[in-house]
Structure 1
Amino acid sequence: MNKATDKTTQQFESAFVSPMRSYTLTALDYYDQLFSAQMDAFRAYSDMAISQARTWLDVKDADSFKKAMESQQKTASNFMERVKGDTEKVTSIGQSFAQDSQKQAEEATKNVADKAKQ
């Protein structure tokens, strides 16, 4: 009876617990990467906004107004480039997670099918 219980436990472990643990680790890694990317983006966007606010506070005459406008245009361009890069990074993280998840699902399915043949 113990051998039957051990075999059932091993089958359950290999068919359900191990794949779920593997997927959970993949998901945690995905969320860690995603959160880090979002925090980096938030920090960069905040820094840009604060820098622009400081630039506008320094406007005292027509020349400083012109410099502030030029700075605003440059910041807007930098912001758009940053958004593009951040979007690509988040997309890449998502694609990697999807590929890893699919690979794990295929391996788990194959493992269950192999165990069923035994």
Structure 2
Amino acid sequence: MNKAAEKTSQQFESVISAPMRSYTLAALDYYQQIVSAQMDAARAYSDMTIAQARTWLDVKDADSFKKAMESQQKAATDLMERMKGDSEKVTSISQSFMQESQKMAEETTKKAVESTKQ
């Protein structure tokens, strides 16, 4: 009886518990990376906005207005590039998590099939 209970316990650990822990760890890593990327982006966007507001506060004449307009155009270009990079980063993080999850699911399925054969 003890051997049967021990075998069941080992099967439960390898088929249910271990994969569940692995997936949870991967999910936590994914969420941490996503939140970090979002916070980095938010910080960069707010820094750009504040810098641009300061530029407009320096407008005193036609020449400084022209410089502010040029700065505005550069800021818009920089923002679009930053947003593109941030989008690519989030996509990459998500794809990695999806691939890792798929691999874990395949391994778990394989272990479950093997354990039913025993």
- Tell me if both proteins adopt one fold, taking TM over 0.5 as the criterion: yes
**Please, which runs of 5 or more residues in structure 2 have no aligned partner?**
none
Aligned position for 1:36: 36
Pairs within 5 Å for 1:1-118: 1-118=1-118
Identity of matched residues, %? 74
Deviation for aligned residue 1:9: 1.0
- Match of 2:14, as an amino acid? S
- For the residues of structure 2 that align with 1:8 and 1:102, how far apart are their CA atoms? 26
- Give the match's secondary structure for 1:4: helix
Deviation for aligned residue 1:65: 0.5
- For the residues of structure 1 that align with 2:114 and 2:9, how far apart are their CA atoms? 16
Q: Please tell me the root mean square deviation across aligned C-alpha atoms, in Å.
A: 0.7
Aligned residues: 118
Deviation for aligned residue 1:29: 0.8
- For the residues of structure 2 that align with 1:9 and 1:114, how far apart are their CA atoms? 15
**Please, which runs of 5 or more residues in structure 1 have no aligned partner?**
none
Q: For residues 2-24 of structure 1, what are the alpha-carbon distances to aligned partners after superposition, in whole Å with 9 as ceiling and x for unaligned? A: 22221111111111000000001
Runs of 4+ residues over 4 Å off in structure 1: none
- For the residues of structure 2 that align with 1:63 and 1:81, how far apart are their CA atoms? 27
